[in-house]
Every structure is written in structure tokens, then in C-alpha cells.
Amino acid sequence: MPLDPFFAERLRVHRKYMFDQALSSARARMTALWPFSRGTMLPAAAKPTGAAAKPAGAVAPEKSAPEKSAALGPRAKARARHRRAALAWDRTELSTVGSPGPEVRITEHQVDVPGHPSVRVRIYHPPVVGDAPVPAVLAFFGGAFRIGGIDYPTTDAAYRRRCVDAHVAIAAVDYALAPEHRYPVQIEQAAAALDWLIASAGGLGVDPSRIGVMGISAGGSLAAALTIVNRDRANHPLVVQVLEVPVVDLTGAHLDLGAMRALGIPRFLTVRELRSVARTYLARPQDAREPYASPLRAPSHAGLPPAVILTAEYDPLRGDGEAYGAALRAAGVDASVVRYMGVTHDTPIFTGVLPAARRWHDDVVAALRRLHA
């Protein structure tokens, strides 16, 4: 099916962005190799900074916020700028092409994660009559593991709408971002959040026997991995997993490059983008073969919860989602995969202007209503 006309200008901008990023990266590499460039040839990552620059036993004085900002390296500053820009863009997207979320009761919680940073979990509580506990779903946002968060306007609005329309509590996990925190930090935070949700269910007004997980893009990877971690460790009963445009194989073996060729985006740009995501999230390239990093590569998918997987026609990750659905079915898991035609990876954002996005929302809500069975 042809790309929906809504995406025409966005495609032009995105294609230019990808080419500009590739060109900028190539220029940076050439500059690093050029023998007459100014300053030291020592890469920023190799310069002695922070703890590595202090003698053993030395204690650095506490810095003020401006001093901390000034102490950031160029890469950290660039990441901070990129995240600020992404948040501003997301705010604009909600106001121009998204749908605001309804008012719901929200509670915030900090969950301890043994051996790793604690994680914030926000509960969106649906309107209820009486004291009967409600089903809940543990939710993971998208953003290539390096941007995004539960405070992003489109993410917050989507959780609010799904909470009310499906009448389930949404437990949104504000997992740590890479590269400041790399795999498996996010996996351990997800597992701790699930353990906490089950253990705290009574005080939260949640039914611990009706729990699901869901995630989009990178969050879909975490949600899928969590079901495997849970099966291998705690074995909490999970009713459903809802995976939206998930990345489930960080080796790139299941990328469907035909999706991007159809948009006039060359293979090397698509592969470059996935490699960039994997390098940011993983401490070592070989980690991409571990089942908790790439759930599709798990030696067994038996015993996992029923799955609803949503993919987009013009998204190279459609190959990941479809291969994962096939692997689950081969292992005897109740799993379905639906490909939305004529649309792209970020379709769920556009509920204010795109019929397919509204249908996407309705289908996610229908999947979450399984928790009421």
C-alpha cells in the first residue's frame, strides 16, 4: 500500500536528517584522521576525566549545578541538547497531531533495584466504583533506549487514554537511559518493577492475578525480555504482552530493509541507525546475542504469556515483530501479529490526524481488555 499522504513531508525531513547525520559522522572521522587538526589526537573517551583522573582515595568536592554542567564532556552535552530538543518536539507533536489524555488519578513510586539505580514507577489509576481491584499493565516507553521517558507529553497522554478506555491501571516504568546506563540495567529495573507491582498490588488497588506488560519500540524489547526474565526467575502469572513495533534482535539479522528501500532510504543508513542504537545500549557487541538483550534469540519461548504484536508497513522493525510472533507460535504461545499498512514506526503518536493511529489505539485497548477476562 502507498505511504499515507500524511507522512509525505515527514519522510522528506527524516530522509534529510539521516543523510545529514551520516555526513556529519563521516566528517568527524575524517577530522580525527587528519594529522594537522588542532589540539590533541586523544579521543574524548580516552581522556582521563572524573574518577579515573583522581589519585586513589581522593574525594572530589561537591559541585554546583552550573559547575556540573560545565564539567560535562562534549558528547554528554550533545546528548543533553538532543534530549531537550526531543522533549520540545514531542510537546509540539501532542499539540499538533496528537490527542490529549483525560484527567486520571496518578501516584508516583520509587522502586529499589538491587545492585542498580532505583527506578520511578508512575501508576495511572482508572476511575473505579467501590473497592474492587483492577487489572494492571507494566508499561515501557520507546526512544531507542537513549531518549524518552514517562514525562514525555505524547507518552503520558497515551497512557492516560489507554488507562481510561481499557479500564486498567498503567504502571509506567521510567527506566534509565543509555549510554549513561547500559544493558542489563534496564532489564533489572523492569524485573524489580514487576516484583514490586505484584508485592504491592493490594495497597495499589491492583489485582495481582491480572497483570500484563506492554512496550513500544525499545520499550517493546524490554517488555518482551521481561516475560523471559520472569519465566526464568519469579514466574509471576502474566496474562498478556502487548508489543508495538518492537526491536527484539539487536544483531540486525531480522531487519526488513525492503521497508526503507520503498521510502528511498538506502540500506546503509538503516543499518547504521540500528548499529548506533545497539552501541548506545549494549556495553559489548556480543551482548546483542544474549536473550535478555535480543528476546528473539532466546533458546526457548515456551511458557511465555499470550502476545499481541503490532507492526508498521514502512518500518524495518516489522521483520523483528513478525519473526518474534512466529517464534512464539512455534513454541506453542498464543500470539498474533498485525501489520498496519501505509504507515510508519511512530504511527501511535498521530491519533489527532491519522485514522490508522486511532485504530491502533483501539486495538491496543482491546488487547488490554483481555486482563478483565
User: What integer pLDDT is reported at residue 57 of this predicted model?
Assistant: 35
User: What integer pLDDT is reported at residue 25 of this predicted model?
Assistant: 67
What's the rounded mean pLDDT across residues 166-172? 98
Contact 241, 213 (CB under 8 A): yes
Of 42-51, 109-118, 182-191, 271-280, give the lowest mean pLDDT range: 42-51
Q: Which residue has the cell 504484536?
A: 309
User: What integer pLDDT is reported at residue 63 of this predicted model?
Assistant: 45
User: What integer pLDDT is reported at residue 48 of this predicted model?
Assistant: 37
Instruction: Give the confidence band of 315 by pLDDT, cuts at 50, 70, 90.
Output: very high
Which residues are identified as catalytic?
Answer: 217, 315, 345
252-279, pLDDT tens digit by residue?
999 999 998 888 888 888 898 899 999 9
Q: Partners of 169 in the beta sheet? A: 136
User: What integer pLDDT is reported at residue 269 of this predicted model?
Assistant: 87
The domain defined by 94-372 carries CATH number 3.90.550.10:
no
What's the rounded mean pLDDT across residues 155-166? 98
User: What integer pLDDT is reported at residue 38 of this predicted model?
Assistant: 44
Secondary structure of residue 289 in the 3-state scheme: helix
User: What integer pLDDT is reported at residue 306 of this predicted model?
Assistant: 98
More confident residue, 305 or 54: 305
Provide the whole-model pTM.
0.87
Q: Is the bond into 127 cis (omega within 30 degrees of 0)?
A: no
- Asked if pLDDT for residue 241 goes beyond 90, the answer is yes
The H-assigned helical ranges of the chain are: 8-33, 65-71, 74-97, 153-166, 185-199, 201-204, 218-232, 258-261, 267-281, 318-330, 355-368
User: What integer pLDDT is reported at residue 34 of this predicted model?
Assistant: 58
Cα(126)–Cα(207) distance, rounded to whole angstroms?
13
User: What integer pLDDT is reported at residue 55 of this predicted model?
Assistant: 34
178-219, pLDDT tens digit by residue?
999 999 999 999 999 999 999 999 999 999 999 999 999 999
72-95, pLDDT tens digit by residue?
788 899 999 999 999 999 999 999
What's the rounded mean pLDDT across residues 49-58? 36
Mean pLDDT, rounded, of the chain? 89
Instruction: Give the confidence band of 31 by pLDDT, cuts at 50, 70, 90.
Output: low
User: What integer pLDDT is reported at residue 268 of this predicted model?
Assistant: 87
| C-alpha gyration radius of the chain | 21
Q: Among candidates 309, 345, 305, 314, which has minimal Cα distance to 325?
A: 309
Percent of the chain at pLDDT > 90 equals: 76
343-357, pLDDT tens digit by residue?
999 999 999 999 999
Cβ-based neighbours of 326, under 8 Å, separated by 6 or more: 337
More confident residue, 264 or 69: 264
Q: Structural domain boundaries of the chain?
A: 94-372
User: What integer pLDDT is reported at residue 230 of this predicted model?
Assistant: 98
User: What integer pLDDT is reported at residue 260 of this predicted model?
Assistant: 87
User: What integer pLDDT is reported at residue 188 of this predicted model?
Assistant: 98
User: What integer pLDDT is reported at residue 16 of this predicted model?
Assistant: 73
Instruction: Give the confidence band of 247 by pLDDT, cuts at 50, 70, 90.
Output: very high
User: What integer pLDDT is reported at residue 41 of this predicted model?
Assistant: 39
What's the rounded mean pLDDT across residues 94-123? 98
What's the rounded mean pLDDT across residues 277-301? 98
Cβ-based neighbours of 209, under 8 Å, separated by 6 or more: 237
Half-sphere exposure of 368 (CA within 13 A, CB side): 29
